[in-house]
């Protein structure tokens, strides 16, 4: 887990003779320095594993690391230059991050059962969230795209009909608009 900012002191560069706990990084690289400073667990920096739960844990650690580094830079306790890409590359390749992680994981919150499954926190059975689908980024995207946002269900009932998210048919829309356009309807006379 990423260490909270309040417990981080100013980072000293690692000596070139120190054994790295992050074999994925070049000794003395900005990624190694950030990972060491934030005490990011080394298993979250391993890019060889393609597990969705691990990928989600890396995404959550990436978000926390981004906040922590921003805070350190703001407080002036981190003085070396770094970019968002430097933080991304601690956990993923940039291409994988921009293809999958950044486009899918922000929407996991709209499906709480899937979020619990990904966090392995009181997780539902695989079949409850995946059905008969294989656990892949492609299938996760499809599941999330088809997931109804619970807040949408409370706003207005779906009346059926055609159109993108209109909530009703074109005929009901025409009737609704015709009341506004006609100034001499019974409705406007009674008001």
pTM: 0.69
If you average pLDDT over residues 30-48, what whole number do you get?
A: 94
pLDDT tens figures, 9-21: 333 344 333 456 7
CB 108 within 8 A of CB 145: no
Query: Which among 60, 59, 48, 54 has a CA at the least distance from the CA of 135?
Result: 54
CB 21 within 8 A of CB 36: yes
- Provide the pLDDT for residue 22: 84
107 token code pair:
């929407």
The angle that helices 52-75 and 84-91 make with each other, rounded to 10 degrees, is: 150
pLDDT tens figures, 171-187: 444 444 444 444 444 44
Domain ranges of the chain: 24-151
- Provide the pLDDT for residue 152: 41
If you average pLDDT over residues 135-154, what whole number do you get?
A: 77
Residues making up the chain, counted from first to last? 191
pLDDT for residue 60 is more than 90: yes
């Amino acid at each position: 887990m990423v260490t909270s900012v309040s417990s981080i002191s100013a980072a000293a560069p690692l000596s070139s003779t120190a054994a790295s706990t992050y074999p994925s990084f070049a000794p003395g690289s900005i990624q190694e320095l950030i990972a060491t400073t934030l005490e990011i667990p080394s298993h979250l920096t391993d890019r060889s594993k393609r597990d969705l739960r691990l990928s989600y844990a890396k995404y959550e650690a990436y978000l926390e690391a981004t906040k922590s580094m921003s805070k350190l830079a703001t407080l002036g306790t981190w003085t070396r230059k770094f970019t968002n890409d430097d933080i991304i590359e601690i956990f993923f390749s940039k291409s994988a991050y921009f293809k999958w992680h950044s486009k899918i994981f922000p929407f996991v919150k709209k499906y709480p059962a899937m979020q619990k499954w990904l966090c392995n926190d009181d997780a539902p059975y695989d079949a409850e969230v995946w059905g008969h689908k294989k656990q892949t980024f492609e299938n996760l995207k499809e599941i999330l795209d088809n997931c109804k946002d619970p807040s949408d269900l409370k706003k207005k009932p779906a009346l059926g009909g055609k159109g993108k998210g209109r909530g009703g048919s074109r005929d009901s829309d025409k009737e609704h608009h015709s009341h506004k356009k006609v100034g001499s309807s019974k409705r406007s006379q009674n008001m």
